[in-house]
Amino acid sequence: MTPADILTLFDDLTSQLVDRLDSLADWGWSGGRSDQYQHDVVADDLFVPQLVAAGLRVLTEESGLSGSATSRWLSILSTDRPTRRRVCRGTPPACVRLTLTGRS
């Protein structure tokens, strides 16, 4: 998978996430952990399986490290703390951070 392929995948997943978050009725706590919101779980459930299926290793706060240790690429998915503050105030988050790092 080339960096361009990964960016295309990120773009596709981001569009899917926007659609899912547009229909999310409950922006509160997930009930899974004391610091976990519903949108955290929605993003994790969408991104992790598809990134792993594409051959990436994925690190998230919600599910830890997933994917093959031999993968050349690592994707890190997180929601920013400022975003969480906005959710607490009843304003949907503006961003989810996707980071890609490679190794030679």
Q: What is the pLDDT of residue 54?
A: 92
Those residues with Cβ within 8 angstroms of residue 51's Cβ, 6 or more apart along the chain or in another chain: 9, 13, 58, 67, 75, 77
Predicted TM-score (pTM) of this structure: 0.79
- Lookup: tokens for 43: 């993003």
> What is the residue-level pLDDT of the chain in tens, covering all 104 positions?
888 998 899 999 988 988 888 888 887 778 877 777 788 888 899 999 999 999 999 988 888 899 988 888 888 777 655 556 666 666 555 567 778 887 65
CA pair distance 102, 74, nearest whole angstrom: 6
